[in-house]
Structure 1
Amino acid sequence: MGTKPTKIALLLGSLSTLALSAPQALADELEASKIDEHLVVIGRADTLPLNIAANVNVIDSADIEMSGATSLTEVLRGQSGIQVSDNNVGTSYAMRGFSASTAVNNTLILLDGRRLNNIDIAAPSLNAIPLNLIERIEILSGSAGVLYGDQAVGGVINIVTRSPENTAGSVQLSGGSFNTYEGRGDISGAINDNWHYYLSANYNQGDNYRDHNANETGSILGRIQYKTATDMFMVESSYYDDDRENPGSLTEDEFKQDPRFSWNSSEYVHQMTTALRSAYQHQLNQHWSLQADVDYSDTLVTSLNWGTNSRNTRSLLMFSPKAVGHYTTRQGELNLVTGLDISRGKAEFHSSARSNEQRLQSVYLQATVPLSQTLNYVVGGRYAEVSDELVDGAAYPNGIDLDEDASALEFGLNYRPNAEQRFYIRYDQNFRFAKVDEQAYTPSDVYGLKPQTGESYEAGWDWIGQSQTLKLSLYQLDLKDEIVFDPSANTPTGGTFLGANVNADASRRYGASVDWDWQLANAWLVGLEYHYVDAEFTAGLNDGNKLSWVAEHSGRGYLSLDFAEHFQLFTEAVYTGERFIEGDNANEGQKLGGYVLANAAVNYQRDAWQASLRVDNLLDKDYVSSGYFGGDWGDSYYSGRGRDVRLTLGYRF
C-alpha cells in the first residue's frame, strides 16, 4: 500500500512514548511524520500527548488503511486490551476489567474531545463515524478522572477527525457478505485564505449475520472553519440515522444448533441523532490561549421489543471553556490547563412515564511541572456536582430531587533518561455519577445511588529502538460503590423485570500489558500485545469471586508485508480468554470458552486509486459476542459475526 511499514513503525514508535520535553532527535522524528499537533486533544491541551504520565496508544489513518478494516469496531477490537461486546443491535468497548453493561459507563468515548457517551445507559453509536472521517484514534488506558471527570474510569478513546485545511476528497464503495453495501465520500477545500469547509457522508445497508438483523444506516457531517495565526473558529453539524432489526437472544441449545437463528419477526431499534458543535480558540499572548466548546445533541429512539412499543428522547447541552498555558523554564516546559465542564441533559422515557433532567458542573486544574530536562511531574484536581430532577410514574410520581458531588486528584512522574526510554508512575482518582435511567430503577428503599468512586495506580516503561518498540505497564484499579444492575436485587416499585440498579460491593482489578512491534526489514512489520486482568470482588457476599464477563487473558498479533510494488498483505489474530457469563457474580455457571478471531486483508494502491479485500473471522469461528446470566431461567446468548468478506474500491482527488 502507499504507506510503507517503515513509516508506520516510525509513527507507532514516536507516539507510544510520552514526555514533557522530548529530546531533539525525537522532536525531529515527530516533525518528519507531519503530525497535526493542534488536533491532539488527549490531555485537553494544545500539544502532543507526550506530557501525560499514562499509557497512550495512537492509531493513525495509515494504520487503519494497513488493516483494511471496514468498521471502527474492527479497528478497536483487541487494541490496548479493549474487549468488544455486541448484542447485535449495539456495541460496547470495555477497558481494564469491566463487563459489557458497565463498560458503557466506565469507558469514555470522545469525538474531537466531545463526549459521545449518552446520558442514559445506551451505548454510544460508533457506527455513526465512517472510517474515511478519521485522522487518528487516541487511546488512553486507565483512569482520567481529573482530565475528563465523569465516566473516565477504565480508559478514554478519542476519535480525531480530519482537518479541513487541505483541498482534497475521496469516494469509496464496498460490498460483501450478508448483502452488505456501503458508500462513503468526503470533500474539503478553501473558501479563501482563512475559511475552509469539510463535508462527509456515509450510507450502509446489510442483512448482517443473524436472521432478522438487517440495518440501514446513514450519516452526514458538515464543518466550516476559520483560522488565523491567533484565532480559530469552527461550526459543525451532523445527522445520524440507524434503523436496525433486533434478532433477540438465544438459549444455549439454540446457539449451538444455529447461531444465526432468531425467534423475532418484527422487533427493531431506530435511532436518529442530530448534533451541533461550535468551538473557538484565541491565542491571548505567547503564554496563554483561551478555548471554548459548545455542543448540543438531540436523539430520538423508537423501538419494538418483547411486543412493546417504546419512544425515548434525550438531549444534551455542554459548555466547556478552558485556558491553556505554556511557559519555558531552564528545566523545561511548564504546562497548565484549567477549565469548566457544564452540562444539562434531559431524557424522557414515554413508555414508562419517566423523565429526568440532570445537571452536572465541574472545575479542574492540571499542571505539568519540569524538575529537569529529563524529569517532570503532573499534578491536578477536579470537583464535580450533579443534580437530578426525576419523575417516574411508578416509583416517584410526584418527582424527587437528588444531589451528589465527587472529587478526584492526580499525581504522576515522567522520567526520560534518554531518547529511547521513558519511565512513569501515576496515581489518579476517578468517579462516575448514576445515569438518568439508573436513578429511577433502584430498590424501593434506595433514594438515589451514591457516586461510584475509585483509585488507580499505574507504572510503565517504554523503549524505542532503531527497529523495535516495547511498552510495559502494570496497574491496580480499586472501586467502591460501583453502579451496576443486580438481577438478584429487590425489584423497584412498579418494576417490570427482576433486579435493580445498586451500589455494588467493593472490587479490585490488577493488570499488566505488553506491547511490542518489530520492523524486520523494509517490507515486514510484526507486532504482539498481551493483556492480563485479575478482576474480583473484595467485599460482601461475592468476596473473592471473579467479576463476570472479564477475560483474564487477551491479546493480539499482527503481520504486515509489502509483497509487491503496489500490494500489501495484513493478517492478525485477536484472542479473548475464557470468562463467566455476564451477571454470574456468584460464579455458579461454567465459563464461556476462549476464542481466536483471525482476520486478513490484501490492499492495493496505485496513484489515486485504492482497493482492499478484507476477511473478518477468516476461520468462521462460532463465538458468543454478548451473553447474560439467567439463573433458573437460563442464560441468554448473542452470536458473534461469522466469516465476513468485504471488497472496497476507492479514489482520492
Structure 2
Amino acid sequence: MNSSAFRPRLLAAAVSLCFAAPAIHAEEADVAQAGQALASISVTGARFDAEPSLAPVGAIIISADEIRRAGANDVNAAIRKVGGVYGRQSLDGSPDFGLDLRGFGTNSSQNLVIVLDGVRLSENELSNAVLSTIPIDTVERIEITRGGASVLYGGGATGGVINIVTRRPQANSRSASMFVEGGQFNAGEVRLSGAQAWDNFAADATLGTQRTDNYRDNNEFKQTHFSGGAQWFASQFDRVGFRYEGARQEMQFAGALKEAQFTAYPRQTLTPNDYGSLDSDRLTVFGQRRLYGHDIAADLSYRKKTVESTYFYDGVPSPATYDSKQWQFSPRVRKLGAIKGMVNELVAGVDLTKWERTTASGFSAADAEQKSKALYLRDELRFDPAHEGRISAGVRREIFDKDYADPLTFAAYDAKQALNAWELQASYMPVANVTVFGKLGQSFRVATSEEDSYTPLFNKPLAAQQSHDAELGLSYASATQKITARLFRHNLTNEIFFDPTANFGWGANTNLDPSRRQGFELDAEHRINAAWAVNAHYQHVQAKFRDGVNDGKEMVLVPKNTLSARVAWTGASQTADVGVQWTDKQRYGADFANDCAGQMPSYTTLDARYARTFGQWEWAVSGQNLADKNYFSQAFGCKAGIYPSNGRQLKLSARYSF
C-alpha cells in the first residue's frame, strides 16, 4: 500500500480518536472612579468578565441574534458562517468541521484553542473539538481572537482562540423553547430547552437529538445530547455553580475517493461497512467571588470519553476502543484598579491538567498519559482615556510530563518538556474612531499522543513546536460600521505535521524544517439602516517553508485566499439572511514538493435563510450549498484521498418560545 492510499485511512483512524499578583497602589478615589467606569459587564477579557474598554484587542464578536438569524444550528456552523473562519468537511459525517485560523492545514485544530466558559475544550488528541454537543440556544456570544495567545491559553494557541460564552441568568426570569427541523438526506433535529431563575438561584437544561444520512453513502450520523446546570449568584461578580454535558454519537465512515471516482459520482463510498461511536461526559464546577478588591475565580472540570471504531481491511473487521479521561483545574485572580487615574488589570493564574487514555485493539494496547502545570501572569494598563491607549505584557511557563507504553509494539517513552510563552500588545486611537494596534509574542504547542507514537525515530517523541508571532492592525469604528485590517506573521520552528514523504514514503509525524505563515486579514461590518446589515471577512495567507529541502515551497491544504460575506434583513416579524463563501485553490495533502500535476479546485458556496414569526412561533426555511456545487476541502493524496463536501440541502424548521 502506498502512502497516498494509506494516508486517508490513517487520518480517518486518527479522527476517530476524538470519539478518541503583586499589589497595585492607588488612591482610594481613583480606585472608586475606576470601579464605577467598569460596572458594565459585556465581554470577556483576560479570562475574566470585562467592560468594553478591556475587550480582547482586534476580536470579532458574534452575537446570539446573528447566530439565530443566520440559521446556524450548532456552534461550529456559527463560527464558519458568521465569523468567517475557514472550515474543512469532517471525515466522520459530524457537524464538527476542522476550523482553521491563519492557514495551518491538516493540523489546524491543534493550532487554535477553543474555550467554553473558561474551560479549555482543545485536548491532547489529534481531533477536532466536539462543538456540536454545545446547545446553540444557550450561547450568548462567540469571541474570535486571531494570533498567538499561549500566555493565557497555553499550547496550541498560535492561530488564535475561539471563546464561547453562554448566557448568564437574570434574576427572576423564565424562558423555554422547542425547536423542530427536517430536511433532505433524512435530516431531522429536535431541541427542548428551559431556564428558570429566582432571586439568587438559577437552573437550566437542554435536551436535543438529531440525525442525518448526509450527502454520501455510508455516512449516517446520529446524536443525542443533554446539558444542564445550576448556579447560585449574589451579584455579577459572586457566583458558584456546576454544569453537566453528555453526548452519544453514532456515525458511519464514507471514506476517501480518487479524483476519477469523485468526478464520476461524489456520493459513493468505497468503505460501505466502516462505522464508529462516541460517548462523552463532562462535569464542570465553577466559582467566582470579589474579595477585598480582587476577583477570584476557578474552574474544575472532568471529562470522560469513549470512542469505538471498526474499519474493514480486505473484508476483515478491525475494531478498536479508546477510553480517555481529562481533569482540569484553573484557579486565577485579578486585581482591577487604578494608578493615577489609569485603569490597570493584573491577572495571575495556574492551569493544571491531567489526561490519560487506554487503547484496546488488535494493533495497539497503548496506555498514554500527559500531565501539565502552568503559571501565567499578565498586566494591562489603559492610559490616555481620550485616545483609548492600552498596553499589556504577559508571560507563561508550562511543564509537560508525557508517558507512553504499548506492549504490542514494544513502544515506550517518558519525556518532559518545559516551554515559555510571552506577549506584548498595544493599541492607541490617534484620531477619532481610528485605532492602531500591534502584538509581538512567542507561542508553542506540544505533540499529541498520536503524533508522538508514529515518529521517524522509534520511541523518540517530537520536539515542541514554537512560533514567533507578530501582528500590526488598523481599525475604524463608528456607530454604524467597523473595519479592521491586520498584517500578521508566524515564524515556526519544529512545526509538528504529518509528512507523507517520511519513513520511506509511508509517512510519519515529524518536526518540519522552519516554516512561516504570513498574510493579511480584513473584517468589515456595516449597518446600512434599521433593516439592512452586511458583513465580510477576507484572509490572504502565504504558508511556506523558509529553510530545508523544501525551502520556498508552499504548505499543503492551505488556501491562499478565503472570503465570506453576509447580507441580513430584518423586517416586521420576519428576517432574511444570505451568505456566500469563496475558497481559493490549495495544494493536495501529499504535495510537499509542489510537483503534483494540479491543485484542489477553488469553490464558492451559497446559503440562505428566511424566517417569519407568528406570535410565539417562528417558522423558517433554509438552504446550504444552494447552487449544488460539487467540491471538496479535504484531499490527502495527489488527486486522491478526497472527502467530498455536502451537496445542496433544504430544511424547514419551527420554533416555539414560551
CA distance in 1, matches of 2:382, 2:90: 47
1:341-395 CA-partner distances (Å, limit 9, x unpaired): 0000001122211111100111000000234323221001000100111102355
Q: Distance in 2 between matches of 1:332 and 1:215?
A: 54
Contact 1:392 1:440 in 2 (8 A): no
Q: Is the 8 A contact 2:413 2:461 kept in 1?
A: no
**Distance in 2 separating the partners of 1:490 and 1:316:** 32
Contact persistence 2:217–2:272 (CA under 8 A): no
2:279 to 272, 282, 306: 272
> Given the superposition, is the C-alpha separation of residues 71 and 259 from structure 1 closer, same or farther in structure 2, using an over 3 Å criterion?
farther
Report the Cα offset of residue 231 of structure 1: 2.7
Map 1:412-431 onto structure 2 (within 5 A). 412-417=425-430, 420-431=433-444
Instruction: Determine whether 1:186 maps to 2:200.
Output: no
List aligned pairs for 1:145-164, cutoff 5 A: 145-164=150-169
CA drift at 1:518 = 2.2
1:511 aligns with 2:513: no
> Does 1:328 pair with 2:328?
no
* C-alpha displacement of 1:163: 2.4
Corresponding residue number in structure 1 for 2:270: 263
Task: Quote how far apart the aligned CAs of 1:200 are.
Answer: 0.9
Q: Which residue of 2 aligns with 1:460?
A: 473
2:177 aligned with 1:170: yes
Does residue 289 of structure 2 align to residue 282 of structure 1? yes
What is the SS of the residue equivalent to 2:371?
strand
Query: Normalising by structure 1, what TM-score?
Result: 0.90
CA gap of 1:443–1:394, structure 2 versus 1, over 3 A, is: farther
Instruction: Measure how far apart 1:107 and its partner are.
Output: 1.3
Aligned-residue offset at 1:334: 0.2
Cα contact 1:238–1:276 (8 A) shared by 2 = yes
* AA at the equivalent of 1:282: R
How far did 1:36 drift? 5.5
Structure 1: distance between partners of 2:522 and 2:86: 16
* Higher alpha-carbon deviation: 41-50 or 168-177: 41-50
Which letter does structure 2 place at the counterpart of 1:349? Answer: T
In the alignment, the residues of structure 2 paired with residue 624 and residue 49 of structure 1 have an alpha-carbon distance, to the nearest angstrom, of 40
Amino acid aligned to 2:330: S
How far apart, CA to CA, are the structure 2 residues paired with 1:347 and 1:127? Answer: 22
Change (3 A) 1:175 1:327: same
How far does residue 472 in structure 1 lie from its aligned partner after superposition? 1.1
One-letter code of the match for 1:518? H
Q: Name the amino acid aligned to 1:55.
A: G
Matches within 5 A, 1:418-567: 420-445=433-458, 447-490=460-503, 498-562=506-570, 564-567=571-574
The whole-number CA distance in structure 1 between the counterparts of 2:326 and 2:244 is 15
CA contact (8 A) 1:356 1:437 kept: no
Residue identity matched to 2:224: G
What does residue 226 of structure 2 align with? 220
Name the structure 1 match of 2:80.
77
The secondary structure found in structure 2 opposite 1:146 is helix
- Spell out, residue by residue over 1:601-622, the C-alpha distance to the aligned partner (whole angstroms, 9 max, x if none): 1111243221221111010001
Letter of the 1:447 partner, please give it: K
Cα RMSD for the two superposed structures: 2.1
Q: CA deviation at 1:79?
A: 5.1
The verdict on how the C-alpha distance between 1:204 and 1:141 changes in structure 2, with shifts beyond 3 A counting, is same
Higher deviation after alignment, 482-491 or 551-560: 482-491
Amino acid at match of 2:347: V
What's the offset of the Cα at 1:49?
A: 6.1
Q: Does 1:97 align with 2:103?
A: yes
Q: State the AA in 2 paired with 1:366.
A: R
CA distance in 2, matches of 1:80, 1:648: 23
**Closer, same or farther: CA 484–601 of 1 in aligned 2, 3 Å:** same
Shift in Å, 1:72: 3.0
> Partner of 1:384 in structure 2?
398
- Report the equivalent of 2:25: none
Q: Which of residues 100, 117, 121 is equivalent to 1:116?
A: 121
Q: Secondary structure at the match of 2:451?
A: coil
Q: For the residues of structure 2 that align with 1:80 and 1:542, how far apart are their CA atoms? A: 33
| 1:61 aligned residue | 64
How many Å separate the matches in 2 of 1:222 and 1:540?
52
Partner of 1:14: none
Instruction: Trace 1:562-577 onto structure 2 (pairs within 5 A).
Output: 562=570, 564-577=571-584
Structure 2 equivalent of residue 18 of structure 1: none
Could you tell me whether the CA contact under 8 Å between 1:42 and 1:158 is conserved in 2? no
CA contact (8 A) 2:550 2:593 kept: yes
Residues 201 and 53 (structure 1 numbering): CA distance in 2 closer, same or farther, change over 3 Å?
closer
1:12 alignment counterpart: none
Which residue type is aligned with residue 466 of structure 2?
A: T
Q: Matched residues in 2 for 1:487 and 1:110: separation?
A: 31
- Compute the TM-score of the two structures, normalised by the length of structure 2: 0.89
Q: Is the partner of 2:76 in helix, strand or coil?
A: helix
| Stretch moving more, 64-73 or 247-256 | 64-73
On the 8 A contact 1:43/1:49 being kept in 2, the answer is: no
- Give the drift of 1:264: 2.3
The 1:79–1:535 alpha-carbon spacing in structure 2 relative to 1, beyond 3 Å, is farther
Q: 1:362 aligns with which of 358, 362, 374?
A: 374
Larger mean CA deviation between 74-83 and 210-219 belongs to 74-83
- Percent sequence identity over aligned pairs: 27
C-alpha separation in 1, matches of 2:135 and 2:308: 23
Note if contact 1:431-1:454 (Cα within 8 Å) is conserved in structure 2: yes
1:514-547 superposed Cα distances (whole Å, 9 cap, x missing partner):
1222222222212232211011010111110111
Distance 2:479 2:350 in 1: 42
| 1:646 match | 651
8 Å CA contact 1:468–1:517 kept in 2: the answer is yes
Following TM superposition, by how much is the alpha carbon of 1:237 offset from its aligned partner in structure 2, in angstroms?
1.0
Q: For residues 196 and 205 of structure 1, what CA distance do their matches in structure 2 show? A: 31
Question: How far apart are the structure 2 equivalents of 1:289 and 1:467?
Answer: 34
- Displacement of 1:466 in angstroms is 3.8
Provide Cα deviations, 1:128-164, integer angstroms capped at 9, x if missing partner: 1232121111111111011111111101111112223
**Deviates most, 621-630 or 69-78:** 69-78
1:337 matched to which residue of 2?
347
Matched with 1:4 is: none
Is the CA contact 1:405–1:451 (under 8 Å) kept in the aligned structure 2?
A: no
Offset, 1:588: 1.7
Whether the 8 Å CA contact 2:118–2:299 is kept in 1: the answer is: no
Mapped partners of 2:432, 2:67: distance in 1 = 27
* Amino acid of the structure 2 residue aligned with 1:646: K
Alpha-carbon spacing, 1:141–1:567, altered in 2? closer, same or farther (3 Å) = same
SS of the equivalent of 1:63 reads helix
Shift of 1:262: 0.9
* Aligned equivalents of 1:540, 1:237: Cα separation in 2: 48
Q: How far did residue 467 of structure 1 move?
A: 2.8
In 2, Cα distance between the equivalents of 1:515 and 1:413? 19
Instruction: Point out where structure 1 has 5 or more consecutive residues left out of the alignment.
Output: 1-20, 492-496
Give the length in aligned residue pairs. Answer: 610
Q: Structure 1 pair 322/419, CA: closer, same or farther in 2 (3 Å)?
A: farther
Partners of 1:419 and 1:294 in 2: CA distance: 43
Give 2:307's aligned amino acid: V
Bigger drift between 450-459 and 68-77 goes to 68-77
In the TM superposition, residue 550 of structure 1 has moved relative to its aligned partner by 0.6
Partner of 2:299: 293
Offset of residue 489 of structure 1: 1.6
Shift of 1:48: 3.9
1:329 Cα deviation after fit: 3.0
- Structure 2 residue runs of 5 or longer lacking an equivalent are 1-29
Structure-2 separation of matches of 1:58 and 1:600: 21
Aligned twin of 1:347: 357
